[in-house]
Amino acid sequence: MMAHTAAQRIKVGIVGGTGYTGVELLRMLAQHPGVELTAITSRKEDGMPVAEMFPNLRGHVKIAFSSPDKAKLEQCDVVFFATPHGVAMAQAKALLAAGVRIIDLAADFRLQDTAVFEHWYKMPHACPEVLAESVYGLVELNRQSIAAARVIGNPGCYPTTVLLGLAPLLGGQPLIDTTDIIVDAKSGVSGAGRKAEVSTLLSEASDNFKAYGVAGHRHQPEIKAQLDLLASTSVGLTFVPHLVPMIRGMFSTIYVRILPEAREVDFQALFEARYANEAFVDVMPAGSLPETRSVRASNTLRIALQRPGQGDRLIILVVQDNLVKGASGQAIQNMNLMFGLPETTGLNQIAILP
């Protein structure tokens, strides 16, 4: 790990700067005091000023998109991949050989089991040896490993809410029935990415609410693999995602059953203690009802606990902005750690209300 000073800025490259996670990276990195935006690639938009595509960046981001062959990514200190699955692993070896660190916002380095990856993403893994050294980039769980890593698999948005919602309950004394965890999750439409698709057209997604991926969603094996590690056993997970007619925001409601021997545990105190020193995890007062708008455009994830009738059912409510803590903000949190900067650098934006 090397600490960077303000005079020695981190040279950052972004592959795939034209999607929603790409523009979120640009929005936050443009305000990051320790970063120099060096290259943003787009084959189709080669030569177009970034601020022409994203007018919110006018006056803040001066560079233009460049095609991958002109981008000189090997001269960067770190490259973010805000690309479809499969792109980062195709370029990983060459970048690592040049001493560049990699943060992939897709799934290439999230699943350590290549057979599981190949089943869900329908492509062979191009570099299993790079995968073997990669670190799962959920800072609140893997802080030390991330700081020393060369390759980060940035977590999926749904997994971030579920893993942080359940982490305090796993790994110590048995508190919950780990064979029956139910996650009812909802995401805004930006989670589907910036592409032309019938299901995300305004007239399709607006004024509508639907479940999807019930028979199997790509984030299920990612969540399960990490929960199994946390619990040191194979957990039983039911995961149902839904599409909500809003642009940003994610809300996961997690249902677990408290074991008889844990009925007297103060779960509120447990969560507060676990996240007391976490800058971006807010454990709300007992009985709170979090709202997605309370985290919009911020890197904060808020958690609230409900225990109806003080019975054996614990309900964990988790909200985040799927594009920030669920993607680009988390990626920058990882970068800060990897380069010895304070973890909150460039990430203290307050949520936008209304």
Q: Which domains does the chain have, with CATH numbers?
A: 10-155+326-338 (3.40.50.720), 159-322 (3.30.360.10)
> Distance of CA 151 to CAs 80, 86, 110, 228, 247, Å?
10, 15, 10, 22, 30
For residues 220 and 218, what is the distance between their CA atoms, to the nearest angstrom? 5
Short-list 246, 163, 240, CA closest to 207: 246
Cross-strand bridge partners of residue 10: 35
Catalytic residue, chosen from 10, 139, 157, 244, is 157
pLDDT mean across residues, the chain:
96
pLDDT digits (tens, 9 = 90+) for 208-233: 999 999 999 999 999 999 999 999 99
Cross-strand bridge partners of residue 104: 81, 153
pLDDT band at 8 (very low <50, low <70, confident <90, very high): confident
At residue 280, φ and ψ (nearest 5 deg) are -115, 10
Q: Strands 78-81 and 101-104, how do they pair?
A: parallel
pLDDT given for residue 5 in this prediction: 52
Sign of CA dihedral 289, 246, 32, 143: positive
Reduce the DSSP state of residue 247 to 3 states and report it. coil
76 catalytic? Reply is: no
Short-list 115, 324, 309, 113, CA closest to 226: 113
Please give the helix or strand (H or E) that residue 271 lies within, else none. Answer: helix 267-274
For residues 89 and 352, what is the distance between their CA atoms, to the nearest angstrom? 35
How large a percentage of the chain has pLDDT more than 90? 96
pLDDT given for residue 315 in this prediction: 98
Structure tokens at 124: 């062979």
Residue 328 CA to chain centroid, in angstroms? 7
Q: Strands 151-153 and 135-136, how do they pair?
A: parallel
Exposed (0-12), middle (13-18) or buried (19+): which is 331, by Cβ within 10 Å? Answer: buried
Structure tokens at 185: 């999750």
